[in-house]
Chain A
Amino acid sequence: MVRPVRVLLFATARTAVGRAELDWPVPGQGISARALADELARAYPRLRPTLRTSRLVRNGRPIDRTSVRIRPGDEFAVHPPYGGG
């Protein structure tokens, strides 16, 4: 059985989806970060504007190229612009 990707959503991304976490099925060989973001945007259209300004993070590390592959069992986070302090 192929493990899903654990998708973590913060701030405006969480509000747009209505949940903080999702288990997202991906093919065994993985999927590009761009393709995964597109799938999320299709499933949750309210997430689309947030995705345009968010950083994408795989296993706690920012993704610098959207061609990076997200594999089953990975953690994939959507980070809207930060607001600490």
Chain B
Amino acid sequence: MSGSPRITRRPLSLGAAARELSGPELGGVVLFAGRVRGERRGPGRVVALEYEVHSAPALRVLRDLDRAARQRFGVERTVLWHRVGRVPAGAISVIVGAAGGHRAPAFAAARFLIDELKRTVPIWKTERARSARRPRRRPRPRIARATG
């Protein structure tokens, strides 16, 4: 049993992902969240990433990955969620997770899911940066002193 992979424009919740992976028989639970880094870019900083997706094939590949992870590693539940559209710096853009009886397959499955997601799912990102430079002040007009 596993939740459906999701592609959404809404914020992602680690708490909701943890609930998807809960169950008394699930002794090993691994969750990974990827966040947008507000890295420096020249004089400015990344304020957001804009994610675009080719939805139908992306969902199909996510479902294939979900199935492959459960078959290959024997985990019982997985989470495979990606946010698209504008994602601000500091916000979560992706969550993957896996839960099974023991930690080793859960770690291996989660690693497989994030690596394959980045390699095979048609999603692209573009940085949105904002300059940290303050706008230049206009020089004060010189006032000629009256002489004489």
Contact = CB atoms under 8 A, between A and B. Distances in A.
Given A10-B52, A11-B52, A82 B57 contact: no
A85 B58 CA distance: 13
B57 A60 contact: yes
Q: Using C-beta atoms within 8 Å of the partner chain, give the interface range for chain A.
A: 10 to 19
A84 B94 contact: yes
A77 interface: yes
Interface string B111-141: 0001001111111111000000000000000
A59 B121 CA distance: 15
B56 A10 contact: no
B48 to A, nearest CB: 15
A8 B58 CA distance: 14
A71 interface: no
A82 B52 contact: no
Contacts of B120: 82
A11 B145 CA distance: 59
B34 A85 contact: yes
